[in-house]
Every structure is written in C-alpha cells, then in structure tokens.
Structure 1
C-alpha cells in the first residue's frame, strides 16, 4: 500500500498540469462532482483520540483532508509513519480519504488479529483496483476477492507448496534444501569472485537479484538462468519497468476515470503493456512443462499444483458425483468475482486470446487447468522473487552493520553444521535458535512490509464496536506492530535475543519464543496470510547459514557504510538504497 500513496504524491502534480483543453475540462467537471459528493457525505471529526464510543464507520475520527485529494498529500512518501502517528491521536480504528474513497485504517496487533479472524472472511477481500485487474489476466490469487472458489484455489496451492517442501516421502524436502543450498553457494562464489577483483568491496544487489530470481524460478519452473542468458535480462527489464509503471499508475485506483482520459491514462497504458509482457514471460517458462509431468516424480511447484489439483478433483468426485470436478481446486472467479472479464473490460483481449495460445488447447478442460496453474505459479513466482530478493539484501546489510551479531551467527552455525555438510532443516534448524531469532529480528526491525496489501470488507461487519459496511478498503498498519513498546522492549534497538526464551531445563536463550514469533505479522494473518511464508523463511535460513559459514561480510567503510539507519526506497516492500560491503572468504 505504501507504493500506492507514494506514487500518488509523486505523480499527482504532473497528472493535473497537462496543458490540454480536454484534460482541463475533465478535471474541472470531476473536481466539482467529487467535491459535491464529499461535502454531502463527509462527517470528519477531529476528536479526542477516538475515545468516544463509535457506532458507525462514518462516525470514526478522521484527519481533515482537501477536496478531490483527501488525505493523500498528508501521507507523503512514508505513509506508515504518518498513519502510526495518527493512530496515537485517533485510536486503533480511524478513517482517511484517498481521492473519493473512504479507507479504514486498522492499527494495533490485537485489532488486526480480530479483523483477520472474523468468520466468513469479513475483512479478507481485495479492493477492485484497476491495476489489479491487469495482473495474471485479472486472475491473480493475491488480488482476487475472497470467495469459496478463492478458498479452494488457495487450499490447492498451499497443498502444492507443502508437497514441495515436505513431500509424500522423506526425500522430497531435500529437493527444496538442495536447490536453496546450490543457489546460496552460487551467490557466495560470485560475491567472492567479484570481491577479489575489486579490492574485496562490492555492491551485492546485482548478484542477489539474479540468484534470488534463480531460486524462485527453480522452485516454480525447474529452471535457472546463467549470467549471459537473454531471458534473464528480459525478465529483469520487464520487472523493473513493471514496478515503475505500477507506481505511476496507482492514481487510477482512486480516480478510475483517469484511464479514459488521453494523456492522463498514459501510466495506466504502460502498466497494461508491461503486465502483458510479464504474463507472456511466465507462459514461456511453463510452455511444454506439463507434457513431461510424472505424478511419481514431482520436480517443482508446477508439478505439485497439478498433483494437488488432480488429487482434490478425484476426492471431490468420490464424495459428490453431481459436482463438476474438473480442476476442482483450481477454479477462479478472478478479481472480485468476474474471472477474465476484468481483463477484457480493460482492453486486454489480446492478452487472453493470444498469449495463452502457447498452451495446449486441444482439450478445453486441460487447457483451462494449464491456465489456472499458470496463474498460481505466476503469483508464487512474482511474490516469491520480490520477497526473497528484499530479505536477502537486508540480510547482507545487517550482517555488515551489526558485526557482533554476525559473529554469534557464525559460532552457532559452525557448531551445528559439520565442515562437509550442507545446512538442512531437519538436522540443523533445532540446533540454531539464535540464527532463527536473528532472521525474525531483521524482518521486524526493517518492517519489510510496512503496510499489508489492502484488504476489503466482503459484507457488513463489526469491529471494536464499530459497524462497518461492505466494500470498504482496509489498510492494516503492520509497521506499528513492529514498533509497539507494549510488544517489544526498546523496539528501535536491533536485538535478536528478544525472540529467544529459556528452555525447560532453564538454559537461557536456547529456544525460540513462540509468543514473540506470533507477534510478528510480516507475512500477514488470517485467510490472507502469505501462501509461501514457511517456504520463504526456510529458504532464508539456508542462505544465512551458508553466508556465515563461507565468508565474512563487513562494512566497506568502517562506521560509515552500511549503517543503520540507512536511506530506503518504498514500494510493496522496503528496500535499502545502494550500499557496498567488504567480502572476504573464510
């Protein structure tokens, strides 16, 4: 969500200053219409911190905004910080306006949990954003609205990931571990090689980008990219262009009429182009993959999705003969329930009719299943790539910025993992509580996802004695939960030990604190909890173990670079700006 409001601030000026008669005419008309609607419906109350009893969403306290823009200019480029300050004044529930849309802001771990644990998925929806309708032909599971078919689809995808990480036999988990170990060691080899050529000082970002991509690509599609592979550079180009276009196009989510206005709709059109290019790239990776599918040899997530869907379909057929069980768990209603209709409405007919021609359409049932598997794989691929890449670059940053914790990591990993072994979850995770605590503390201290992807109320509901109507955008301030002094003592301090507790025999810091781990909601909570959170956590564990075993990571300029705090960029995740570290092989 932070990328939404950041881009609004950056682009709003240029959008409204285009010197064309048609643009000025449209702006004048819609400005007057929206201002009139706001004057009619607004009940902004700058109250005493939300202490008064609130009975309806429209009566919630709200900071005053300005017509047409609402509060967007006040949020600035660090909305999570502004919302955290406003929560101190208005309480755990308050209302803001972005454009002409009312948004419910939910703050505080207990309140967020209450919202996400509501029966019937009251807060588990997704807003019908125009940009969301362009992703995966409008069938992205990440942005699809909550429904029975979405629940089945997620259950199938979750089962597929479990198959990949744990398998039907003890050997399956080793596939994921071997993949992560191989990519981690490849990253370290390249870092050491580059460091030897540059007086041991490197920018780790390009290497982390490629190896993070390879890790997720191997997981999803069973393939990796070499240094000179043209597909690697094609994807990086698409990814960077897509991220930029996604930011620029965010105003259309709050002022939907923009997409119909020449000049103003240019960022939206660019996003449409890059979304098609991204989808085509994913389809190319899937091409012919299922032709070699073998249920007795599951190679990657694609195979596991196929296996999980087939298994669930057979089970459904056996329990309900009247049920149309073709791809039972892979059915999708699309963003807010309209399947590919959204993409068609947005001019993506070529996307739907053209790109998926690459898949086998000989059998309509098999063809639809291939497409839906591709949608889910595209979700896992895109989300996993961004999350792993961001977590890895922060891992290297914190090892350099806090060398005393790096030493503790190394001592623990060296004691647990033999010199001729690769770290594994089964043999070594229980022996390395500090390593796991360190990873959790990095994610907390960075607040890697400060504002969770926006939610949406699916029906009229109640929260904290407040009646909330359906179709309300909901922002969950995860950042505030990482800085809440009631949850974390001295929250600004980097202290991995906060995730440790005494063992049953009284040994201090010898096991993870379940309570502390549960207080970290970086992967979300409830029905919308990140599908691959366990997989991401396990991959990160293997990368960290390999990094400290094989090399020393130090500041490139002692006491200067990198240090915390460090400049960051805001998007769906928080990333550090460019920094350099000193790498030496052990």
Structure 2
C-alpha cells in the first residue's frame, strides 16, 4: 500500500501500459492458439506430422529461458528425445531446428525458394545492412543475388590462388609469435594471435595491402569495430521481435543514436580503405569487385556492405576453427604426431613446406582438418533462415513466418550419420580427397559436413577458408608441436573440449593456454 502511494503518475501510466500490453498479448495468444489448433487438426487429417515441442517452456517467453549456458547441447538433447525436428517458441516467434541432414536438404535446398529469407532484424538489416544490402542478413532480392554472385566470383579458387603466398607469410609470422611467447612466458593463449592472423589474411585479400597483423593498428581497429557490430546483430539485440511488449528495452539498451554511430564508423572506415585499395598498384578483391560493378548494377554502398560482411564473416569463423584445432591437437598427441610425420616426409622429399595444392600428398592431415570441422564446428547453428510461405517436407508441415535453424552440432553428433560421433577420429575421412567446396556442393548422400550452411545461403568463402586453415596448420606443425600448459606443480593443464562460448554466430572454445615447442632438426 505504501509503495502504491509513493508512485508518480508517469510510473503508474507506464505500469498500466505494460499491464495492458500483457493482457492484450494474452488475448491474442489465445486467439492465435485457436487458429493454430484448427490449422493443425486440418494438417493432421491430411497425413502431415506436427513438429514436436519440448515441454520445458513458459507462458509468453516460451523456451527462451530454457536453453541454458550452452544452447547447442540443450538442443541436441531435445533432438535425441523428440526427433530430427523440434519446434521452440521464442516469445512470439516460432523456431524449428533440424538435426537430420536429409531433411535439412529437403527444407533448405529443394524448398530453397520458400526457405531462404531472413527474419526481420531492425539493426542487422535496416541500419548495419543499409536497408537490406550485402550478402549475410538481407532478403533474397535481385540485388542480393547479384551481390552474392560477385562474392562467389571474387572468392573463387582461381582468384584465391593469388593470395596463397600471403596466407603462408601470415602463418609463419603467427608461428614465430606463438613460439617466442612460449619461450619467454612458458605458455601462450593463442586466440587473439590466431584471430589477428586470419583478419590480416582477409585484409590482404580484400584490400591488397600486406600488413603485419600483430603490429598494425588497422587490424586492432577492424577487430574493435567487428566486435561492436556483433553486439547489435545478435538476435537478443532486437528483443522487441520476440517480446513486442518489451520492445522499449531494445531501444533503452541500444539507443538508435549509438547504433547509427557504429554504422557511420564502419562506413567511413571501409570507404577510406576501399579508396586506397582502388588507387594502389596491386591486385585485390576490392579492385576485382569494382571491375564487375557496372555489369552487376551495384553501387558503392552495395560493395561497401559486402566487403564488411566478407571481412567479419571470413575472419571470425576461420579463426575459431583454428582455435579449436590447436586445442584438440594438444589433447590428441597421437593425431598430432601422425600429421607431423606426414608433413616432415613431404618436406624431406621436396625441400619445402607443403602448400594447399599439395594436399593430395597429405591424406591424414586433410582428414584431420575435416574431422576438426565436424567435431567442433565453428558455428553450432549458423545464421537462421526464414520461411516466406508454408513448407511441406518429409511429411512435416512448417508454416510461413517460421525461423529455420540447422542444428549443426546435433547433425555432426548424429550417430545415424557418423560412427561414434563423440570421438575425434580423423580416420573416418581417410580416402576422401575432395575439397570442402566439392563436398558441400555435391549430392546430399555424399556430403559429410554441414558447417557452411545450405542451399542459396551456403557460405561463398568455403575455398578461401580451407586454404587458410590448411596453410596455417601445416606451417605450425612443420615447425613445432602443440603441448598442454604446465601448472605451478609441473602438471599438464589440459584444454577442456567439452565447453565453449556462444559469441554471436560463432561457437568458440573457452580461453586456454598451450605451449608451442619448436622441433629440433633431428626430431
């Protein structure tokens, strides 16, 4: 009673508005549930199956509070209990997760026209995407198709070959830094070094300039800007799309002025780099993009947003995959030894470090890198798709306006697809010499990895990522071994491979330290 008497009129009005909103939402929910039940009954009579819903949900907020600290594990457990498709209610949104690759192929590829849109996101599309430009977050418009075609052209294997020397140089610089810190400090946390290296490589490919990623402030600025942008493109940054009555929270937490300032920072920064790249006397993805500009019908802003997408998407996912690889190899010395011996044999025979073009002579190394991608995918869900109309696939009905998510972790741990999926077994991929692109774009029966997405939205940078990961891994293992850090009592501190961090789109290992021990000439 005392509290009520001390509230001012503004507070009472706000509380009343929230209460009215909740009441309205409840009434709408009852009405909507009635319509959905009628539709569902009709579908079931037609022989279609309802996508099962986990029981661990709450009124209005749905399953948003039930995902735990590692949603990928929670989702995997629900799949094991309920089947290959599960439906979560995230506030007013309907999210369908798919863990069976054959069903995913039916939904994302054969029904690609209906399932390739993006859920509306006020920051990712309207502000950072400059009204739906770029290739990551915008809808499947004609401009999107044109921009994506340009991205595929400038990231093609033929064009990527020109930058393999730069990739190798950055890998060697990274290696020297990791060994030096190990020698002086006893161990090293490789995350930021690997991340700076991958961004340095992307910078060279995109803008043509060779820079030292560990000393140049440009990479520092790029990482800061990317991290700031990720803050606003996460689904939870647009909380109003889940819970309309709490839309004001998004505005309160992320004022439009701040969001627009971040976008202006991004635009100014990349415009200057693009202008410098065009004027420079060296080849670059920027120059190649501008050579296609007129025939593609794109403008400067389209290319700027595309470059921003390529820089952040290519830098982060590749660095996370390498971060997992180093952690895994420190826990699997036998695997690491086989890779090292294979690489050493090649060096003895050819008197040089192998390049990506030599991959056929390193079958165990190739198999290990493929297994790394499966065992700990750099993204557990990718970027969600969205249905533009009703979809029927494999006997299931998925209504329009549904968020579709590939359960990549659950897929890669599916015992119906992989033998003993919880074990790290490079041998499972021996004899498969296909490139990741060939595997990803082949028939669903022959596809063995799902980290790069599906259908029209499949990652355009698959080849570039494979070359960079291969060259970095080979250069490291040609020169050293990766061993656990040692604690104050002289005991090894093993990396925990069973935990991780959800950071926006990527799934990264928790921070760890390892030792990079340089090989002796006789080893």
In 2, Cα distance between equivalents of 1:103 and 1:546 = 42
CA drift of 1:536 comes to 0.3
Tell me: CA distance 1:261–1:406, structure 2 relative to 1, closer, same or farther (3 Å).
closer
CA contact (8 A) 2:363 2:430 kept: yes
Aligned to 2:477: 548
Unaligned runs of 5+ in 2: 1-9, 38-42, 434-438
CA drift of 1:566 comes to 4.5
Tell me: CA distance 1:488–1:205, structure 2 relative to 1, closer, same or farther (3 Å).
same
CA drift of 1:390 comes to 0.7
Secondary structure of the equivalent of 1:27?
A: helix
Tell me: CA distance 1:262–1:153, structure 2 relative to 1, closer, same or farther (3 Å).
closer
CA drift of 1:564 comes to 4.1
In 2, Cα distance between equivalents of 1:126 and 1:459 = 13
CA drift of 1:62 comes to 2.1
CA drift of 1:519 comes to 2.2
Cα shift readout 1:445-495 (whole Å, capped 9, x = no counterpart): 113211121101123332123343333211221111111111111111111
Unaligned runs of 5+ in 1: 1-18, 47-51, 314-326, 331-367, 504-511
Aligned to 1:14: none
Aligned to 2:275: 287
In 2, Cα distance between equivalents of 1:67 and 1:103 = 16
In 2, Cα distance between equivalents of 1:87 and 1:502 = 29
In 1, Cα distance between equivalents of 2:14 and 2:321 = 42
Aligned to 1:178: 165
Secondary structure of the equivalent of 2:313?
A: helix
In 2, Cα distance between equivalents of 1:447 and 1:44 = 39
Alignment partner for residue 307 of structure 1, among 283, 286, 291? 291
CA drift of 1:561 comes to 2.5
CA drift of 1:529 comes to 0.7
CA contact (8 A) 2:237 2:250 kept: no
Aligned to 1:82: 74
Number of residue equivalences: 488
In 1, Cα distance between equivalents of 2:351 and 2:457 = 40
Secondary structure of the equivalent of 1:178?
A: helix
Aligned to 2:181: 194
In 1, Cα distance between equivalents of 2:11 and 2:322 = 46
Are positions 1:215 and 2:201 aligned together?
Answer: yes
Secondary structure of the equivalent of 1:563?
A: coil
CA contact (8 A) 1:71 1:98 kept: yes
Aligned to 1:37: 28
Are positions 1:488 and 2:418 aligned together?
Answer: yes
Cα shift readout 1:73-102 (whole Å, capped 9, x = no counterpart): 112232222222222343333322111112
CA drift of 1:567 comes to 3.3
Tell me: CA distance 1:289–1:565, structure 2 relative to 1, closer, same or farther (3 Å).
closer
Alignment partner for residue 117 of structure 1, among 102, 109, 130? 109
Cα shift readout 1:335-356 (whole Å, capped 9, x = no counterpart): xxxxxxxxxxxxxxxxxxxxxx
Are positions 1:474 and 2:465 aligned together?
Answer: no
Secondary structure of the equivalent of 2:66?
A: helix
In 1, Cα distance between equivalents of 2:324 and 2:249 = 41
CA contact (8 A) 1:553 1:584 kept: yes
Tell me: CA distance 1:395–1:61, structure 2 relative to 1, closer, same or farther (3 Å).
closer
Are positions 1:459 and 2:389 aligned together?
Answer: yes
CA drift of 1:260 comes to 4.5
Tell me: CA distance 1:109–1:59, structure 2 relative to 1, closer, same or farther (3 Å).
closer
Secondary structure of the equivalent of 2:28?
A: helix
State the Cα RMSD in Å: 3.1
Tell me: CA distance 1:262–1:472, structure 2 relative to 1, closer, same or farther (3 Å).
closer
The 5-angstrom pairing of residues 414-433 of structure 1 reads 414-418=344-348, 420-426=351-357, 428-433=358-363
Aligned to 1:206: 192
CA drift of 1:182 comes to 0.5
In 2, Cα distance between equivalents of 1:155 and 1:197 = 47
Aligned to 2:266: 278
